[in-house]
């Protein structure tokens, strides 16, 4: 397989050369079209909600506190990811 590619490349130098030039031209064109920003926006906006419910068990905190908060936050615009952890003794 490799021998056939090498043999074809040697016999058809013009085709291979034009293909290489085409790839270089496409690469330069793609590079020129990339947006460049001096100070790109790399902020990662996060909101952390900590609730304390000393009389509730972990399952109850999840059912009565965490889940309603998750539902309310999931309806906000531009929320891409939502995670919650319910722990005892936090």
C-alpha closest to that of 49 among 76, 19, 22: 76
Same domain, 24 and 49: no
> Length of the chain in residues, anyone?
90
Q: How many domains does the chain have?
A: 2
Asked whether residue 12 is assigned to any structural domain, the reply reads: yes
Q: Is the pLDDT of residue 73 over 90?
A: no
Q: What pLDDT is stored for residue 50 in this prediction?
A: 82
| Averaged pLDDT of the chain | 87
Residue 78 contacts residue 47 (beta carbons within 8 Å): no
Q: Is the pLDDT of residue 76 over 80?
A: yes
Q: Please write the tens of the pLDDT for every residue from 35-60.
A: 887 787 777 778 888 888 888 888 88
Judge residue 61's burial from the number of C-beta atoms within 10 Å of its C-beta, 0-12 exposed, 13-18 middle, 19 or more buried.
buried
Mean pLDDT value across residues 60-79: 87
- Within its chain, how far is the Cα of 6 from the centroid? 39
pTM score, two decimals? 0.46
Who has greater pLDDT, 6 or 88?
6
What domain range is 23 assigned to? Answer: 2-33
Same domain, 11 and 52: no
């Amino acid at each position: 397989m490799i021998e056939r590619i090498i043999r074809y490349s040697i016999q058809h130098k013009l085709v291979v050369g034009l293909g290489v030039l085409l790839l270089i031209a496409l690469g330069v064109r793609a590079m020129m079209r990339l947006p460049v920003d001096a100070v790109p926006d790399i902020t990662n906006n996060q909101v952390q909600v900590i609730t304390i419910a000393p009389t509730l068990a972990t399952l109850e905190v999840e059912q009565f506190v965490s889940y309603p908060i998750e539902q309310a936050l999931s309806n906000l615009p531009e929320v891409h990811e939502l995670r919650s952890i319910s722990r005892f003794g936090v």
